[in-house]
């Protein structure tokens, strides 16, 4: 398949900055792309002094795009800036299943076309999720990077930067499991997964309690993660420091530093449950209790904590004056959170050692646990592992670990606002985000931003407000993530205006080569046929 790009560009003086304004059109063939499609994918740009609407037809599993010229008012209006956004680098995440578990690049045609569109818009780079269960699927030490290398080469040819997310976790949607050989160990021996008080295991992530236990074919998870990082560095050596500018280390469920306190995704009204019932966690708890002279406290987690589908105040544990404030509560929560902090330190230390001198920045991601955070106990944070006794800042200890390992902190939810939260949830994402950013600033940790996984009302405006915040400068923002919804008519138009608001436009390398109105064409062969649909991540 041939992908063609034809571009004419014209610079306009907007907000005192030279920007490249284009009318962008692109087409995914004459029909909805399918496994039988062999159509040519083209991008056309024309001179224009104002933005035009891009109309795209889409279905949940495929996209069909066609340029329609029509004047429309922008979704975002230019506003006075307290901080210039032209220094903020904008990345866009690729679908989670960009590479299949057989190491094939899924929907290659659509992704290549999408990357061309993003390049024309002025996006800096792409975030690529790289899963442990895909690369080291069959046996320990047997790595297959071929699918991800193919994506890196496409990104390089398009002229974008690449941020790699090394994911030591699985995913339920789309379904991506841990390596097969790890799953076999889990079935045979048990105890390597987080477990709740009902005995239900969370099999998309290893328990923090086995970090330094040789449970993986004679090696510890930290040793296996270190080998994985070294193999990645070797396989992608030609891209390190040039195309690849950053690496995110997976720190827990969905890559975030937290316990999987919400195993039952449909019941999110509660604060979650403590995940401390696998045999290694219970052993660690027993040892800690004995060392503090309270052996009876080491028999299990809190007995009076609410269930997944119960609100925090339905039992006494999280209530004002409840068990969480007692001597026992401080004992348990201190131990529980210490494993989280130690896990972060171990993983980031392994990565810092592996990637030292490569010229890439290292990142780790925190969750934004804003539900119920108006309660004094802040129960959603406690069940996820964030606690600090004696009135100390629970996030500053984490920021200190990031600073120690020269690691940036990714904070999601920068599109969320208090006004769109349910009053019953006692939620304030704005105040929690400000709290975490302040903790990072105290420790000298650079903050990178992300949006939440789902589109929210007023999300783009809220992102811009957060990026303009002078108190903590965010110099990199990753928008999650490409898929059918991303390229839907309403969303993609809003996204293009969002990019314009960030003053992100620069002449691309192939636009600079255009002489006047003379168009040039560059082609990239797909090398692959098959489904080109974009699955929503």
Q: Do residues 43 and 120 make contact, with C-beta atoms less than 8 angstroms apart?
A: yes
pLDDT bracket for residue 264 (50, 70, 90): low
User: 232 pLDDT exceeds 80?
Assistant: yes
The mean pLDDT of the chain is: 82
In a domain, 465, yes or no: yes
pLDDT bracket for residue 113 (50, 70, 90): very high
Residue-wise pLDDT tens digits, 362-415: 999 999 999 999 999 999 999 999 998 877 889 999 999 999 999 999 999 999
In a domain, 399, yes or no: yes
Assign residue 374 a region (left: φ > 0; alpha: ψ between -120 and 50; beta: otherwise): alpha
- C-alpha dist (Å) from residue 96 to 62, 263, 432, 436: 16, 20, 27, 27
In a domain, 487, yes or no: yes
In a domain, 437, yes or no: yes
> Is the pLDDT higher at 531 or at 121?
121
In a domain, 18, yes or no: no
Task: Calculate mean pLDDT across residues 205-231.
Answer: 98
Residue-wise pLDDT tens digits, 237-262: 999 999 999 999 999 999 999 999 98
| Residue 168 to residue 184: CA distance in whole angstroms | 16
Domain span at residue 470?
85-274+335-504
In a domain, 63, yes or no: no
| Residue 436 to residue 411: CA distance in whole angstroms | 8
Q: What is the pLDDT of residue 477?
A: 96
Residue-wise pLDDT tens digits, 40-93: 333 333 333 333 333 434 333 333 444 333 334 333 444 444 456 778 999 999
User: 267 pLDDT exceeds 60?
Assistant: no
Task: Calculate mean pLDDT across residues 114-134.
Answer: 96
In a domain, 460, yes or no: yes
DSSP string over 285-333: HHHHHHHTT-GGGGSSS-TTPPPTTS-GGGSSTTSTTSGGGSHHHHHHH
- Global pTM exceeds 0.85: no
In a domain, 298, yes or no: no
Q: What percent of the chain has pLDDT over 70?
A: 77
CATH of the domain at 108: 3.20.20.80
Domain count, the chain: 1
Q: What is the pLDDT of residue 235?
A: 98
Q: What is the pLDDT of residue 57?
A: 40
């Amino acid at each position: 398949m041939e992908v063609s790009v034809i571009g004419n560009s014209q610079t306009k003086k907007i907000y005192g900055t030279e920007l490249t304004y284009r009318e962008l059109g692109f087409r995914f063939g004459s029909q909805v792309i399918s496994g039988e499609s062999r159509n040519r994918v083209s991008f056309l740009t024309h001179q224009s002094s104002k933005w035009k609407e891009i109309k795209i037809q889409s279905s949940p599993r495929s996209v069909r795009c066609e340029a329609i010229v029509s004047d429309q008012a922008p979704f975002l209006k230019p506003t006075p800036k307290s901080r210039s956004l032209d220094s903020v680098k904008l990345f866009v995440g690729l679908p989670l299943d960009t590479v299949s578990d057989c190491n094939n690049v899924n929907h290659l045609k659509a992704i290549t076309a999408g990357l061309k569109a993003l390049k024309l818009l002025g996006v800096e780079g792409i975030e690529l999720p790289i899963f442990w269960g895909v690369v080291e699927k069959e046996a320990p030490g047997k790595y297959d990077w071929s699918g991800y290398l193919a994506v890196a080469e496409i990104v390089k040819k398009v002229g974008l930067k690449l941020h790699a997310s090394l994911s030591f976790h699985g995913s339920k949607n789309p379904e991506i499991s841990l390596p097969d050989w790890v799953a076999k160990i889990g079935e045979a021996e048990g105890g390597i997964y987080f477990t709740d008080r009902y005995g239900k295991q969370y099999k998309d992530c290893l328990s923090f309690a086995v970090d330094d236990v040789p449970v993986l074919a004679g090696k510890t998870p930290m040793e296996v993660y270190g080998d994985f990082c070294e193999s990645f560095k070797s396989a992608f050596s030609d891209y390190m420091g040039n195309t690849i500018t950053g690496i995110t280390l997976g720190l827990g469920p969905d890559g975030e530093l937290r316990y999987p306190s919400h195993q039952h995704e449909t019941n999110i009204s509660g604060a979650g449950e403590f995940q401390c019932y696998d045999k290694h966690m219970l052993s660690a708890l027993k040892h800690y209790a004995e060392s503090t002279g309270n052996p009876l406290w080491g028999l299990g987690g809190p007995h009076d904590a609410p269930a997944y589908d119960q609100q925090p105040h339905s039992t006494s544990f999280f209530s004002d004056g409840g068990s969480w404030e007692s001597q026992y509560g401080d004992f348990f929560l201190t131990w529980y959170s210490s494993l989280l902090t130690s896990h972060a330190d171990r993983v980031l230390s392994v990565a810092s050692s592996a990637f030292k001198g490569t010229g890439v920045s290292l990142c780790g991601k925190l969750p934004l646990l804003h539900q119920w955070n108006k309660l004094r106990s802040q129960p959603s944070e406690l069940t996820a592992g964030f606690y600090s006794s004696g009135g100390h800042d629970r996030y500053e200890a984490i920021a200190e670990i990031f600073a120690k390992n020269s690691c940036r902190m990714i904070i999601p939810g920068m599109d969320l606002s208090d006004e769109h939260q349910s009053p019953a949830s006692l939620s304030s994402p704005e105040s929690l985000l400000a709290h975490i950013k302040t903790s990072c600033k105290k420790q000298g940790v650079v903050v990178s931003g992300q949006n939440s996984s789902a589109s929210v009302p007023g999300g783009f405006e809220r992102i811009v407000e957060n990026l303009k915040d002078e108190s903590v400068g965010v110099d990199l923002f990753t928008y999650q993530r490409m898929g059918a919804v991303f390229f839907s008519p309403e969303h993609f138009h809003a996204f293009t205006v969002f990019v314009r608001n960030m003053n992100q436009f620069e002449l691309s390398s192939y636009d600079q080569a255009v002489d006047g109105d003379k168009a040039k064409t560059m082609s990239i062969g797909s090398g692959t046929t098959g489904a080109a649909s974009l699955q929503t991540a």
